[in-house]
Amino acid sequence: MKPVITKEVYKVRYYELDCHWKASVSTLMDYFNDIVTLQTVEIGHGVDIMSKGEYAWLLLRWDVNVNRYPDYMENVVVQTIPYSMDRFYAYRRFEIFDRSDNLIVDANSQWILIDQRKRRPIRIGDQFYALYGIDSDFHQPLSFPQVNDNDSYGEEITFRVRSSDLDTNGHSNNVSYVRWIMETVPDEFAKRSLRRLTIEYKRESREGDEISVESVFENGDEFAEGKHKIISSGRVLSLARTEWK
C-alpha cells in the first residue's frame, strides 16, 4: 500500500517574511498546517465534516530541520506523507523543496486522534489506514529528540491569548506557540539562523488565558541552544528546544 502524498506550490509573500527577507519559521509551519488540511479534504474529510467536530487530529509534537529558508517571492513545493499509525497515534513527514528539487526543510510530527466532544483519545480505525494509504501492520513511530524541562530561565514574557492566536477548534494554534517562543529570542540570537526546532504540546490554551513564556539561551561549540517553556496557571503547556547557527 502506498501512502497518500499531497503536494502544493507556495510562493513566499511579503507578509510571511522575517527581518532578513526570508520566510519565517512560523511561515514554514503554516505551510505544513495548510498542506495537511488539504490532504484531509482530498481524502473526503471536508470542511462540512470538520466543522461538526465529531473527531479531530490533535498535534503532539514537531521536529523541524531547516537547511535553508526560502527567499521572498521564491516558489517552493511543500508535501506531506503519512508515515505510520499505532493505536491512538499517527506519524507523518513534511518536506519543502526548492525549484531545483533540493530538500531545504523537513519535519517529523506526531498526532493523536480525539473525540471532539469528550476531548478524549479514540483508537484509530481501519478506515483511516485505508484512507491515508498506510499498511495496517506497520506501527513503527518516528523518532523525536528528548525535550527536557529547565528550571533556569533568562528571558520571560507574559500576555493573554488573543482571538488571533486561535485555530478553527477555538484553541491556540500550534504555530502560535512557536510565535510566542520567538518573542523571547534576544538580539544576539536573532542575528543567528534557527536551524532546528523541537516542540512538545502538553495542554491546550484558549482566548483570555494568561500565558508565560520562559526561555534560556546558551552558546555551544557547534551551535547555540535555546530551551523554552510555556506556562499557564502553573501548568506547563509546552516545552521546546531550538538550535541556532
Q: What is the pLDDT of residues 193-242, one digit of tens each?
A: 999 999 999 999 999 999 999 999 998 888 899 999 999 999 999 999 99
Tell me the residue type at 94.
Answer: F
% of the chain at pLDDT higher than 70: 96
Confidence of residue 245 (pLDDT cuts 50, 70, 90): very high
Q: Is the pLDDT score of 7 beyond 70?
A: yes
CATH dotted code for 155-244 = 3.10.129.10
Same fold, 6-132 and 155-244: yes
Among 149, 65, 57, smallest CA distance to 108 is for: 65
- Predicted structure pTM score: 0.94
Q: Is the pLDDT score of 18 beyond 80?
A: yes
Confidence of residue 88 (pLDDT cuts 50, 70, 90): very high
pLDDT in tens, 124-161: 999 999 999 999 999 999 999 999 887 767 889 999 99
State which CATH number among 3.20.20.70, 3.10.129.10, 3.90.170.10, 1.10.8.50 fits the domain covering 6-132. 3.10.129.10
Which pLDDT score is estimated for 187? 87
What are the boundaries of each domain within the chain?
6-132, 155-244
The answer to whether 209 and 175 are in contact (CB under 8 A) is no
Q: Is the pLDDT score of 192 beyond 80?
A: yes
d(CA 126, CA 149): 36
Which pLDDT score is estimated for 45? 67
Which pLDDT score is estimated for 147? 94
Confidence of residue 1 (pLDDT cuts 50, 70, 90): confident
The residue that leads in pLDDT, 15 or 153, is: 15
Among 132, 131, 124, 76, smallest CA distance to 104 is for: 76
Which pLDDT score is estimated for 52? 65
Read off the C-alpha cell for 89: 497515534
Which pLDDT score is estimated for 232? 97
Lowest mean pLDDT among 45-49, 75-79, 227-231: 45-49
Half-sphere exposure at residue 65, Cβ-oriented, CA atoms within 13 angstroms: 11
Judged by phi (left if over 0) then psi (alpha if -120 to 50, else beta), residue 90 lies in beta
Q: Is the pLDDT score of 91 beyond 70?
A: yes
The answer to whether 76 and 63 are in contact (CB under 8 A) is no
Which pLDDT score is estimated for 49? 61
Which pLDDT score is estimated for 117? 79
Q: Is the pLDDT score of 78 beyond 90?
A: yes
Counts of helices then strands in the chain (DSSP H, E):
5, 11
d(CA 188, CA 244): 11
Which pLDDT score is estimated for 53? 65
Torsion, Cα 18 188 227 56, to 10 degrees, reads: -10
d(CA 238, CA 245): 23
Which pLDDT score is estimated for 105? 98
Lowest mean pLDDT among 45-54, 56-65, 158-167, 186-195: 45-54
